Amino acid sequence: MSKSIFYHAGCPVCVSAEHDIINLVGVENVEVVNIGENRNRIPEAEKAGVSSVPALLTPNGNILHINFGASMADVKG
Amino acid sequence: MSKSIFYHAGCPVCVSAEHDIINLVGVENVEVVNIGENRNRIPEAEKAGVSSVPALLTPNGNILHINFGASMADVKG
């Protein structure tokens, strides 16, 4: 995989971080996934190691948790 | 300012995040500052809004706190 994936849940912290990440990395290099709306992507995010959002899954499989917005428990509700 | 600044304190979490950020953003676009060693940069980091390291100051002045490594209080000791 060559793209990063930015997981978020639509919270204000998430949206702000999304803009920053896209500016830094380039929109063509990031897939943005709202796991609040797109709940069938939650298991994949958890498997990748996402424990809070926003989080960036890098092409080499590392997770960068950014400015804490919401825990996965909160997202799952 | 057009470069981002990556503040860290040499902790393992910091080093891992540094590699990821450099891979994503490009080494030419990031200044890396170890505020554990380079303590005269601490006031500047705090003024920019860094409350824990590692953290990335984006060109537009936002702070992205990444995978919690150490609080500024711990860095200052």
Domain at A4-76, CATH from 3.10.20.30, 3.10.28.10, 3.40.30.10, 3.90.180.10 = 3.40.30.10
Residue B77 pLDDT level (bands cut at 50, 70, 90):
confident
Q: How many CA atoms lie within 13 A of A62 on its CB side?
A: 16
CB contact under 8 A, A60 and B25: no
Element (H, E) at B57: strand B52-57
Q: CA-nearest residue of chain A to B62? A: A20
Q: Which residues 38-77 on chain B approach chain A with CB closer than 8 angstroms? A: 56, 58-60, 62-68
Could you read off the pLDDT of B10-62 as tens digits, one per residue? 988 899 999 999 999 999 999 999 999 999 999 999 999 999 999 999 999 99
Residues in chain B: 77
**pTM, 2 dp:** 0.91
Count of A–B CB contacts within 8 Å? 45
Q: CA-nearest residue of chain A to B24? A: A25
CB contact under 8 A, A20 and B62: yes
Tell me what percent of chain B is helix, strand and coil, each rounded to the nearest 5.
Answer: 40, 30, 25
Interface predicted TM-score (ipTM): 0.88
Residue A54 CA to residue B28 CA, distance in Å, equals 25
Residues whose CB is less than 8 angstroms from the CB of residue A65 and which lie 6 or more positions away in sequence, other chains included: A50, A51, A52, A54, A55, B66, B67, B68
Q: Where are the domains of chain A?
A: 4-76
Q: Which ranges of chain B does DSSP label H, i.e. alpha helix?
A: 12-25, 42-48, 72-76
Element (H, E) at A33: strand A30-34
Q: Low-confidence residues of chain A, pLDDT below 50?
A: 1
CB contact under 8 A, B58 and A4: no
Amino acid identity of residue A48, one-letter, is A
